[in-house]
Amino acid sequence: MISIEAVSKRYPDGTVAVDGLSLEIPDRSITVLVGPSGCGKTTTLRMINRMIELSGGRIVIDGEDIRQKPVNALRRSMGYVIQNAGLFQHRTIVDNIGTVPRMLGWSKAKARERSMELMERVGLDPAMAKRYPYQLSGGQQQRVGVARALAADPPVLLMDEPFSAVDPVVRRGLQEELLRIQAELGKTIVFVTHDIDEAIRVGDMIAVLRTGGKLAQYAPPDELLSA
């Protein structure tokens, strides 16, 4: 469980991005942070892996304040997926996916084997292994981004508007794929989107944020009050 306890973030210029946010993010399910642009979704996500430090409150994972963990260990326990995949353009697909395993000291052969297995899991044709990111569609690149985030089998996945840049039909396919992967692998997923329909489709729990970084609602999709 990721426990967000009265967390605030005030940037040096005075902007209050998150204001007294409390959320219990259950294990092995998808929790969505949804709300308009600028309501503090990305800031919240980045505080969970300490890319951004908190101004107030605390975040506790499995009973331990994240500030007590070495930051590298914390980040290794969390895959991160962003909107435009953020792939390494000069590396093949198989090498992109194997980046973290290689950093962890896996042999080339073992990293490659893991990459191929993950390509299959996220629905990518193995024939794409030797291609470069620019040779893939946007939707395929996002699949690579998901596979790369899963490579070292972290218990947590942080996803920041992962499917927002792809067209609606491909997007539906990616959402379904994510649900399947989550069911198979049992990851704890924190998923950021500004799209309420997407939130309802993928979320087990939905945290609706409003401008100023305050929590408006926190409920499963079928109990969400229309705003």
Q: Quote the least distance from Cβ 98 to ligand ADP, whole Å.
A: 26
Whichever of 96 and 193 has its CB closer to ligand ADP, that residue is 193
Q: Quote the least distance from Cβ 37 to ligand ADP, whole Å.
A: 4
DSSP of 133-152, one letter per residue? Answer: GGGS-HHHHHHHHHHHHHTT
Contact yes or no for 85/144 (Cβ under 8 A) = yes
Binding to ligand ADP, residues 2-21 (CB under 6 A) = 11, 13, 15, 17
Contact flag: residue 40 with ligand ADP (CB under 6 A): yes
Give me the amino acid identity at 100.
V
Specify the stretch interacting with ligand ADP by CB under 6 A; choose among 39-47, 111-119, 135-143, 178-186: 39-47
Contact flag: residue 41 with ligand ADP (CB under 6 A): yes
H or E element that contains 8: strand 2-10
Helix (H, G, I), strand (E, B) or coil at 3: strand
Contact flag: residue 143 with ligand ADP (CB under 6 A): no
Give the largest Cα separation in the chain, rounded: 52
x/- binding map, residues 169-188, to ligand ADP, per CB under 6 A?
A: --------------------
Q: Quote the least distance from Cβ 178 to ligand ADP, whole Å.
A: 19
From candidates 23, 31, 43, 175, binder to ligand ADP by CB under 6 A: 43
Cβ-based neighbours of 180, under 8 Å, separated by 6 or more: none
Q: Quote the least distance from Cβ 189 to ligand ADP, whole Å.
A: 17
Distance CA 128, CA 138 (A): 14
DSSP 8-state secondary structure symbol assigned to residue 123: T
Distance CA 202, CA 30 (A): 7
Distance CA 227, CA 219 (A): 13
Specify the stretch interacting with ligand ADP by CB under 6 A; choose among 37-45, 71-79, 100-108, 166-174: 37-45
Strand order in the sheet with 2-10: 16-25, 2-10, 56-61, 64-65
From candidates 20, 29, 38, 117, binder to ligand ADP by CB under 6 A: 38
x/- binding map, residues 54-93, to ligand ADP, per CB under 6 A?
A: -----------------------------x----------
Distance CA 47, CA 42 (A): 9
Whichever of 12 and 168 has its CB closer to ligand ADP, that residue is 12
Site residues (CB under 6 A) for ligand ADP?
11, 13, 15, 17, 37-43, 83
